Amino acid sequence: MTWALDHLDEILTRAVQHAWLAGLPLVLGLLIALPLGWLANRKAWIHGTLLTTTGLLYTIPSLALFILLPSILGTKILDPVNVIIAMTVYTVALLTRTVADGLSAVDPATRQAAVAMGFGPVARVRSVDLPLAIPVVAAGLRVAAVSNVSIVSVASLIGISQLGYFLTDGYARTFPTEVWVGIVACVLLALVFDLVILGIAWLLTPWTRVRA
């Protein structure tokens, strides 16, 4: 406890780095997964191809991906960009299916009503389908967020600065307190992500709280 208080500044700095490495890919991943999920939902063959491809990418273990990306992208191994890209890949893999599921769960009657009211295809997706898919997409995002926070800590093995540093450093120095501080900090960060996503989804879906 004393150790944690003495190193509060360092913990906060690394927590911000960790939040950045885990959070930015969530936003990027969502932005990529939305159109992909929409495409997957329109044609059966796109559905199969997309989900198989993203599934294969998801299969590659994170430490291997962190090491492989520099040789594919030509980046430096210590470049945090590798982690951002790897995490974005995982997020997209996870969310494409969620977005497709969320969109396909929209009641066809609602969709027809929107068409009958004169919504064009784009306007319908934007103002009817997507908002209705928010709860499902948010559930997928929460899973992705928790898993991202955990995976990012692995990047400390190759020397990327974030909360995982306390894990590797504590282990190297045989100093369990530091490892536990790192674990608790990661869990707390995951919790913060979870609450933020829940909060945003809550704000975006006021109609779910209207009593009949």
Partner 1 sequence: MNGALLDWFRDPANWTGPDGVPTRVAEHLRYTAVTLLIALVIAVPIGAWVGHTGRMRWLVTGANAARAVPTLGLLFAVSMLVGPLIKSDLAFVIPSIAVLVLLAVPPLLSGTYAGIESVDPEARDAASGMGMTGSQVLWQVELPCALPLFLSGLRSATLQVIATATVAASVSLGGLGRYLIDGLASRDYTQMVAGSVLVALLALVADGVLALLERYAVSPGISGRASRVARTRATSRATADSTLSVGPAGATALAGTSSERDRT
Long-range residue pairs from 187-194, CB within 8 A, at least 24 positions apart, any chain: 189/15, 189/18, 189/19, 189/22, 189/149, 189/163, 190/145, 190/146, 190/149, 190/150, 192/19, 193/19, 193/22, 193/23, 193/26, 193/142, 193/145, 193/146, 193/148, 193/149, 194/142, 194/145, 194/146
Residues 10-29 that bind partner 1 (CB under 8 A): none
187 sits near partner 1 (criterion: CB under 8 A): yes
- Collapse the DSSP code of 129 into the 3-class scheme (helix H, G, I; strand E, B; otherwise coil) and give the result: helix
User: Considering beta carbons, is residue 61 or 120 the nearer one to partner 1?
Assistant: 61
* Of the candidate residues 12, 191, 195, 200, the single one contacting partner 1 (CB under 8 A): 191
Q: Which of 49, 52, 110, 112 binds partner 1 (CB under 8 A)?
A: 52
DSSP string, 167-178: HHHHHHTT-HHH
Q: Which two tokens stand for residue 55?
A: 């599934």
Stretch that binds partner 1, among 7-15, 48-56, 109-117, 121-129 (CB under 8 A): 48-56
Tell the smallest beta-carbon distance from residue 11 to partner 1 (Å).
14
Q: By CB under 8 A, is residue 180 in contact with partner 1?
A: yes
Residue 168 in the binding site for partner 1 (CB under 8 A): yes
Of 24, 18, 3, nearest to 163 by C-alpha is 18
DSSP 106: S
- The binder of partner 1 chosen from 183, 196, 198, 204 (CB under 8 A): 183
Between 83 and 151, CB nearer to partner 1: 151
One-letter amino acid identity for 78?
A: L
Residue closer to partner 1 by CB (options 123, 147) is 147
Residue from the set 3, 20, 58, 202 that interacts with partner 1 by CB under 8 A:
58
Min. distance of Cβ 14 from partner 1 in angstroms?
Answer: 13
List Cα–Cα distances, 133 to 49, 100, 138, 157, in angstroms. Answer: 22, 9, 9, 38
Q: Which residues bind partner 1 (CB under 8 A)?
A: 51-52, 54-56, 58-65, 67-68, 71, 77, 90, 93-94, 97-98, 101, 104-105, 136, 139-140, 143, 146-147, 149-151, 153-154, 156-158, 163-164, 167-168, 170-171, 174, 176, 179-180, 182-183, 186-187, 190-191
